[in-house]
């Protein structure tokens, strides 16, 4: 209910080719850049499958599937790039903040 199904479909489709994922463009396309911090945290908690309070590398690999079941898995290279962008304290995981 936070993001538009049409925006999600377009964003996931735009990065359906292997090695094409660009997290900045993806998050802009799904509309997260325009959302409040509270809404972003709602999406974070959906992606945090094990409810640890963090999104770990293994969960990031399936980030597109968190938005839609027919999304592809990210490659190891794409996953590591996304982790590096979000892991501000270097602990190997992304916190909600």
| Annotated binding-site residue numbers for Ca(2+) | 48, 50, 52, 54, 59, 87, 89, 91, 93
Give Cα 48 to chain centroid, integer Å.
Answer: 10
Structure token digits, residue 68: 């839609």
Binding-site positions: 48, 50, 52, 54, 59, 87, 89, 91, 93
**Which residue in the block uniquely carries the two structure tokens 């794409």?**
78
Helix (H, G, I), strand (E, B) or coil at 59: helix
């Amino acid at each position: 209910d936070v993001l538009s199904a049409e925006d999600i479909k377009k964003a996931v489709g735009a990065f359906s080719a292997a090695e094409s994922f660009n997290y900045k463009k993806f998050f802009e396309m799904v509309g997260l850049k325009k959302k409040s911090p509270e809404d972003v945290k709602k999406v974070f908690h959906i992606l945090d499958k094990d409810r640890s309070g963090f999104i770990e590398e293994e969960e990031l690999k399936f980030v597109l599937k968190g938005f839609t079941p027919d999304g592809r898995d990210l490659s190891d290279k794409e996953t590591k790039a996304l982790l590096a962008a979000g892991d501000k304290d270097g602990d190997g995981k992304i916190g909600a903040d």
